Structure 1
Amino acid sequence: MIAGFENGRAAVNGQEIAYSAGGSGPALLLLHGFPQTRALWARVAPRLAERFTVIAADLRGYGGSSKPKGAEHYTFREMSADQVALMSALGHERFHLVGHDRGGRTAHRMALDDAARLLSLTLMDIVPTHYLLSHLNRKVAAAYYHWFFLAQPAPFPEGMILADPDRFYESCLLGWGGATLADFDPGQLAAYRAAWRDPATTGAMCDDYRAAIRYDYDLDDADLSRRVACPALVLYGASGAMAKAYDVPATWADRLSDMRAAAIPGGHFFIDTAPEATAEALLDFLP
């Protein structure tokens, strides 16, 4: 999965969470997003492992982790609780946290629910969930239509996706910032395909998006006055859909007390397409 890392699966929070671990030093948790797996970090994690004990985990519903049925199981609060419990099981009471896409939304919820555990927070190419849904505009609706398609009642989106999963998910990889399939490492792309071809994974990913609209919006609404205190970094794709639609750092300004921000060349999947620039930005920020 990640060269030189050990793979494991931990029973935590009523789930089985798959992870890869390597390196030494302060603990650093990496969380991927949709429609990927922890293989996202294959060309970034080894660089980080030169200074940190790196744990790259699959979110519940994704990759090698458990896939419970029902949107109520996929709130960012539940997904965060899995990862907090994983880090405890691995002996890391405090850690740095990096999340991309759904992993970033999980990370933001963790920073609200378990702030004392975090040494720092890095959010990659997202605007706050509540902000995106409450400030929706036509550009975002067109680019991020999948939020509303995946959230439709089962089995409508699942049936349409599973008729040709590669076509649907590859359109996601290519649709949010000018990438081509040649920009993705073949081994990582093979890992993504193997995961999303599993019907249980497609069902889980749909439940993830159902939960955002049914539950996470209200959970975030209750926390709008709260700010994350730990040092925070906001990274975003310079040519991604979010950068085109929003001033990404500005959307986080009233939610993060100690914030830095930087654009990375590329679109939403800049971790895949610009791994060296991504690693350098993280190493420059992390103490």
Structure 2
Amino acid sequence: MRIPGFDYQRVPAHAGVTLNVAVGGTGTPVVLLHGFPQTHLMWRHVAADLASDHTVICPDLRGYGDSDKPADTGETYAKRTMAADVVAVARALGHERFALAGHDRGALVAIRAGLDHPDAVTHLASLDVLPTLDMWDVLRGTTAAVGFHLYLMAQPPGLPETLIGAAPDAFFGHFLDLWARDPEAIPPDVRAAYLAESRGAVTSIVADYRASATVDVEHDLADRQAGDQLRMPVTVLQQDWGAALGYDAEAVWRAWAPDLNHVTVSCGHFMAEEAPAEVIKHLRELLGR
């Protein structure tokens, strides 16, 4: 499936990887990064609106959708590597500087891009995720059960891929069903597309998650110890995780992003599909800062 009115290209990224990228509109560039278990298609509503006055770039992350899925060599799916993909794709399309928004896994890539490439990222939005290091810090006790998949895919290669590969539709479909408050936000044809793409990407999706329990933690910890922060305007849209898990979500984010607008939203996890008007509103406010 495609976003209507967008052109599709195979664009060279980092270290020989090529990404599937949808591009639409004209104006200052905005890059939108998807989450799990989705593809660039999750931005279809938001992208169509922003394309009225921006160049909107929607890639499938490496390992997802129709983008390349290289074998993991340890840092192949580190968010640092995936962030380098984003910068390379933007440059290949003629943009040295761009605004960046990410949801879920894409938000982790966006955060890393903001930390590693502050001269390239002008504005940054994160939808419904915590920075990797903080995510592991807040998951504890029985509340950590909501993140069982994080622990499963953190295991060494072999077991996670075997278990998930034995019933991929049941595994990925579980999250599409559980995390959406409005089931109609992901219609049957879109759900089927997500499942089909995920079914063919089990190994690379697990590698992406495994990186978040290993090398991504190392990179975040090094930044925290060095006092590195996101220097651009940042907007965070988040469900009320703090109340549920017992921490101050805004305080966690402010430690990383001094110029922060932290917004609690009332929809489910798949914000860009469940509440596109609210997401568009806050992204446009961010772009005006």
| 2:218 corresponding residue in structure 1 | 218
Instruction: Please tell me whether residue 68 in structure 1 is matched to residue 70 in structure 2.
Output: yes
| 1:83 corresponding residue in structure 2 | 86
Alpha carbons 2:182, 2:268 under 8 Å: kept: no
User: Structure 2 residue aligned with 1:59, among 54, 58, 61?
Assistant: 61
User: Structure 2 residue aligned with 1:230, among 229, 232, 256?
Assistant: 232
SS of corresponding position for 2:32: strand
Which stretches in structure 2 are left out of the alignment for 5+ residues?
Answer: none
Instruction: Please tell me whether residue 195 in structure 1 is matched to residue 191 in structure 2.
Output: no
Distance 1:139 1:180 in 2: 26
Alpha carbons 2:61, 2:106 under 8 Å: kept: yes
Alpha carbons 1:27, 1:52 under 8 Å: kept: yes
Root mean square deviation, CA, Å: 1.6
Which stretches in structure 1 are left out of the alignment for 5+ residues?
Answer: none
Distance 2:7 2:78 in 1: 28
SS of corresponding position for 2:193: helix
Distance 1:157 1:149 in 2: 6
Name the amino acid aligned to 1:203. Answer: T
Listed one character per residue, the Cα deviations across residues 47-93 of structure 1 (whole Å, up to 9, x for unaligned) are 01112100011111001111111242100000000110000000011
TM-score, length-scaled by structure 2: 0.93
| 1:3 corresponding residue in structure 2 | 4
| 2:109 corresponding residue in structure 1 | 106
Alpha carbons 1:28, 1:55 under 8 Å: kept: yes
Distance 2:239 2:190 in 1: 19
Q: What is the CA-CA distance between 1:237 and the residue it aligns to?
A: 2.7
Distance 1:279 1:185 in 2: 20
Distance 2:189 2:58 in 1: 17
What percent of counterpart residues are identical? 38
Distance 2:95 2:160 in 1: 38
Distance 1:91 1:139 in 2: 48
Name the amino acid aligned to 2:99. Answer: H
Q: What is the CA-CA distance between 1:242 and the residue it aligns to?
A: 6.0
Distance 1:126 1:222 in 2: 20
| 2:136 corresponding residue in structure 1 | 133
Distance 1:162 1:272 in 2: 27
Distance 2:13 2:110 in 1: 17
1:167-206 matches, within 5 Å, as: 167-176=170-179, 179=181, 181-198=183-200, 201-206=201-206
| 2:250 corresponding residue in structure 1 | 249
Q: What is the CA-CA distance between 1:210 and the residue it aligns to?
A: 1.0
Runs of at least 4 residues off by over 6 Å: none
Alpha carbons 2:122, 2:233 under 8 Å: kept: yes
SS of corresponding position for 1:79: helix
Alpha carbons 2:12, 2:88 under 8 Å: kept: no
Name the amino acid aligned to 1:61. Answer: G
SS of corresponding position for 1:28: strand
SS of corresponding position for 2:101: strand
| 2:30 corresponding residue in structure 1 | 28
Q: Aligned residue pairs: how many? A: 282
| 1:276 corresponding residue in structure 2 | 277
Distance 1:226 1:280 in 2: 29
Name the amino acid aligned to 1:191. Answer: A
Alpha carbons 1:96, 1:119 under 8 Å: kept: yes
Name the amino acid aligned to 2:139. Answer: L
Alpha carbons 2:123, 2:286 under 8 Å: kept: no
